[in-house]
Structure 1
């Protein structure tokens, strides 16, 4: 018996405004996709999980891929906004690195497993999925690179290389930390990763300054 079958279905028959119904369906779909993966999930499972009929589900999403892409768009935007918020949260550079690292840890820990849709999708051969995953990684790196370029005076291309490295390390380590059920508390994990990253990034002098950070 699957995790979805073991979970009591939501009651049917409640009439909701269109936006609320759409959000409900997305929430149900997320639970099913995270638990089963895209290929094993069925629209029947999602409708049952949401407590609606299949015709109601199809009124909002013409097919399973449409539903998956809507979820992917939602959670890619969530990650991007988290990174941008972290970068804007302080002007102290070491704290800014820590805040950005923590944004990735918070994302993998608190999004109900949705990070798996972004980072561990079983649908990466689908061009529309691959394009979205690549785009959010690029957008996060661009946001980080703008800060690096502004602070160090490095070129756009140089700053982008560093930003891709920082973002990549953050999400890979955060995913490992979660999946391994590490005994290291999140705050400590972020501090360790920040120390590692800072020892490298701090070697680049501030733009227009004679010394280091």
Structure 2
């Protein structure tokens, strides 16, 4: 019993240390950008020992990957929206809401996404992580398209995996425009426009 309690306390302390380091890393990344950030700054900010820090993370790439997963999980929850439309109009409504929520999230997470964009361009490890995130999204979208095709709502001659990639890349392009403050139109207008083009091309 006593050993178990000690183990639980150690585990809790380890989790708290890890969280402190992630919070410190996020602050440093936002202040300095990816390139100028150094793990020693993060360890100092978290006020933990170097040895302890390196038990959890090998370097700043490791830290950023976890932060990336945390942020993108919010986006993925949007992609995971229940998708069982009974008509083209119902599909359009769900897809439009997803596209809008995705782009609103891009606005909300703009600062952190700016760090991710820098890192994707500089680190092969982070670039590979982004590809894995992208694949997770396209697989989910592909599943929804396949469902619509099976229900006779979408054109069956189209390859659902290719269509899914095209749809995600469209959303991703606007996500980066929002991150860079380059978008000329409102999120609502962008979502409505891309949804219309997508739905009219895919649905019958």
Residue number among 90, 97, 100 corresponding to 1:99 in the alignment: 97
Q: What is the RMSD of the two structures over their aligned residues, measured on CA atoms?
A: 3.0
- What TM-score, normalized to structure 2? 0.72
- 8 Å Cα contact 2:24/2:42 also seen in 1: yes
How far off its partner does 1:55 sit? 3.5
Give the match for residue 138 of structure 1. 135
Output one character per residue of 1:181-213: Cα deviation in whole Å (capped at 9) or x when no partner.
Answer: 8786xxxx333123212332332465xxxxx4x
CA distance in 2, matches of 1:39, 1:48: 18
How far off its partner does 1:135 sit? 1.3
Runs (5+) with no aligned partner, structure 1: 1-15, 207-211
1:21-170 paired onto structure 2 within 5 Å: 21-85=17-81, 88=82, 91=85, 92-111=90-109, 113-118=111-116, 120-124=117-121, 126-151=123-148, 152-154=154-156, 158-170=159-171
Give the match for residue 13 of structure 2. 17
Q: Which has the larger helix fraction? A: 2
CA distance in 2, matches of 1:106, 1:180: 13
Q: Which runs of 4+ in 1 moved over 4 A?
A: 181-184
Which one has more relative contact order, counting CA pairs under 8 Å at least 6 apart? 2
- 8 Å Cα contact 1:32/1:45 also seen in 2: yes
- 8 Å Cα contact 1:83/1:100 also seen in 2: yes
CA distance in 2, matches of 1:198, 1:39: 36
Are residues 51 and 110 of structure 1, via their aligned partners in 2, closer, same or farther at CA, if it must alter by over 3 Å?
A: farther
- 8 Å Cα contact 2:21/2:46 also seen in 1: yes
- 8 Å Cα contact 1:141/1:164 also seen in 2: yes
Runs (5+) with no aligned partner, structure 2: 1-11, 149-153
How far off its partner does 1:147 sit? 1.5
